[in-house]
Chain A
Amino acid sequence: MGTLRFRPAVLLCMLPAFVLYGLFFVVPFARTVFNSLYEWNGMDEGVFVGLANYTELARDALFRTGFLRVGLWAALAVVLKVGAALLLANLLRDKLRFGRFFEGAFFVPVVISSAAISLLFTLLYDPDIGPLNVMLRTVGLGSLTRAWLGNTDTALLAVIAVPIWHTIGYFFVILLAAMRNIPRELYEAARIDGAGARVTFTHITVPLLVPVLQVCCVLAITAALKSFDYVFLMTRGGPGTATEVPVTTMYKTIFVNLQLGYGTAMATVIFLVALLATLIVRRVARA
């Protein structure tokens, strides 16, 4: 809270942001919730159907399975992304020789767009030229080669691996900054008490990072729920429906099938799930 006395000019300062935010966030958000009560193809007059879209959604196996996939994605993201970032940050907490190089290298992918990364991995997973298959063939494991994105057994994990790879560096930087903010005296004291690296890590570093780790978990989970680019650009939800997630299903429902009412109901559910996940993580971290 500031200290200056309120005056009309303050309203003037806030006006542009309010107009922008009201028009391009509040209005579309309200319309999303409102339209989810209609059956509407975007061209004719919509028909009010109450909660029918939601009851239909509850029975929509594709949409439900999509949430299971995102659940797996979020779980893997939390474990691998946060886990790897925590480990790497811990290794680089104290300045090492070449430490700056590693810090710089790990963060590189984060500044690249998910569209470019998705295309890059489409090539990396390619059954003919992809290094993954080439290496497998080289070491005589040719029988393990496959079209990683084209195989129903591997496609989902292959897709999930990409955003995890893409953003480990982001979490690494967040955690590294937080670790370096931990007072050095704590570590000194621990060393004097004879604590080893493992004990200092579990008894000092991790407990003090809980608030930041909580932020990382929320970010990892909501990112999984919101991610559209990777799936859409690498597999379009295929093969079959093996990588279909709620946002891609919503996109197709609205923009391909023109079921705007049903699609906005999906959008509303995605929002509610994201909200719920955020609240749960906060509650768990507090306990």
Chain B
Amino acid sequence: MKASRGIVYLVLCGHAVLTLFPFAWVLSNSFRDSDAILTSMRLWPEHFSTRNFANLLEATNIPRAFANSVSITAVSLALLLATAVPLAFAIARFRFKFAEYVYIFFALAVLVPGVSVLPMTFRLFNDLGLLGTKFGICLVYATEQLPVSVFLLVSFMRAIPHELDEAALIDGCGIADLFLRVIVPLSRNGIVTVVILAFVAIWNDYLTALVLLPDQENRTLSVALAYAKDEYRVDYGMMSAAIVFAITPMLVLYFVLKDRITTGMAAGAVKG
């Protein structure tokens, strides 16, 4: 039993090193310059120089891209909630013949890889005059997240006892009151899960932003980072700093909301 426990820890530690080593390595390199990086591999820099980061903040558009990512993600999430929550409410709490079809209709998109629709979304953006605008992309992000979000919300809302609806309506509540005062507060957990899932997906998107935000000043963090790859290809220190800059916010968020994120994403996969 002792020996097997040792093997268990060996496997676990091995995988933990495999998982964490790249981050430690790039973090160390972000404080070093290219010459030092070329000379030796270190997980602890010989001395901490913040020059790469200073350079990154001053000479690149990565900080601006960061701000773009924040605002675009926020607007997308608001749009997503404004459309998904009422729809889930309708499907979950009302009795009508075509509810099943509505459900299937929205399930369609889950089967279609977003990649294959994107070129025609680009044309549509062009026809609608949305190309070149900063927030047009939020419509697409919200749409992409809509199906999974609706499924999750419906399953959360269905778990709320139906007697509450009747009681609320008898008490003289309107549908709007029922929605805002009863159902939304009681599906708080579901909404948080949806927001987390959608946040991770939207924040991390690359391709949609690459195609639908052609203007330099609107680039999101992922896209700006990819351009940095071409610009700083051989400046290993700058590249490392750019990567660290891009991943740190997500890491911080993860450590703050660890349980919610892991359970949310696990639930999202299985239910979606």
Q: Which residues of A come within 8 Å of B, CB atoms?
A: 1-7, 9-10, 12-14, 16-18, 20-21, 23-25, 27-29, 31-32, 35, 42, 84, 87-88, 91-92, 96, 98, 101-116, 118-124, 126, 128-129, 131, 134, 165, 168-170, 173-174, 176-178, 197, 212, 215-216, 219, 222, 225-226, 228-229, 232-233, 247, 250-251, 254-255, 260, 263-264, 267-268, 270-271, 274-275, 278
Contacts and interface: CB of A to CB of B under 8 A. Distances in A.
A114 B204 contact: yes
B26 A120 contact: yes
Interface string B237-253: 00110110011001101
A38 to B, nearest CB: 12
Contacts of A128: 38
Given A2-B93, A6-B95, A16 B247 contact: no
Contact of B111 (A260, A267, A275): A275
17 contacts: A2-B99, A13-B87, A17-B146, A20-B139, A21-B109, A23-B124, A24-B140, A25-B109, A92-B12, A104-B258, A107-B254, A108-B20, A113-B247, A129-B41, A165-B18, A177-B266, A251-B115
Contacts of B170: none
A246 to B, nearest CB: 9
Interface string B63-107: 000000000000000010011101101111111100110100110
Nearest to A176: B266
B41 A263 contact: no
B94 A6 contact: yes
B95 A1 contact: yes
Given A14-B86, A20-B139, A21-B106, A29 B117 contact: yes
Contact of B120 (A12, A255, A264): A264
A175 to B, nearest CB: 9
A20 B222 contact: no
Contact of A111 (B20, B87, B176, B254): B254
A111 B261 contact: yes
Contacts of B95: 1-6
Contact of B124 (A13, A24, A116, A129): A24
A114 B96 contact: no
Contacts of A112: 204, 247, 250-251
Given A25-B108, A113-B225, 18 more contacts: A4-B94, A10-B90, A10-B175, A20-B146, A21-B146, A24-B143, A25-B112, A104-B258, A128-B38, A131-B41, A134-B41, A174-B266, A174-B269, A177-B267, A197-B4, A229-B207, A232-B207, A268-B116
Given A25-B109, A129-B37, A267 B94 contact: no
B62 to A, nearest CB: 12
The 3 A-B residue pairs with the shortest CB-CB distance in the complex, in nearest-first order = A113-B204, A267-B116, A28-B120
B31 interface: no
Given A263-B119, A267-B116, A14 B90 contact: yes
A17 B150 contact: yes
Of A2, A20, A98, most buried by chain B (CB within 10 Å of CB) is A2
B54 interface: no
Nearest to B13: A102
A134 B117 CA distance: 42
Given A102-B16, A108-B19, A120-B26, A28 B203 contact: no
B61 interface: no
B184 interface: no
Nearest to A92: B12
Nearest to A135: B41
Nearest to A219: B269
A32 B120 contact: yes
B206 A113 contact: yes
B113 interface: yes
A18 B79 CA distance: 13
A233 to B, nearest CB: 6
Nearest to B178: A4
B226 interface: yes
A2 B250 contact: no
B108 to A, nearest CB: 8
A121 B22 contact: yes
A262 to B, nearest CB: 11
A244 to B, nearest CB: 15
A177 B258 CA distance: 14
A110 to B, nearest CB: 7
A278 B206 contact: no
Given A2-B92, A103-B262, A105-B19, A274 B150 contact: no
B177 to A, nearest CB: 12
B23 interface: yes
A233 B233 CA distance: 12
Interface in B116-166: 116-121, 123-124, 139-140, 142-143, 146, 150, 158, 162, 165-166
B192 interface: no
A104 B256 CA distance: 12
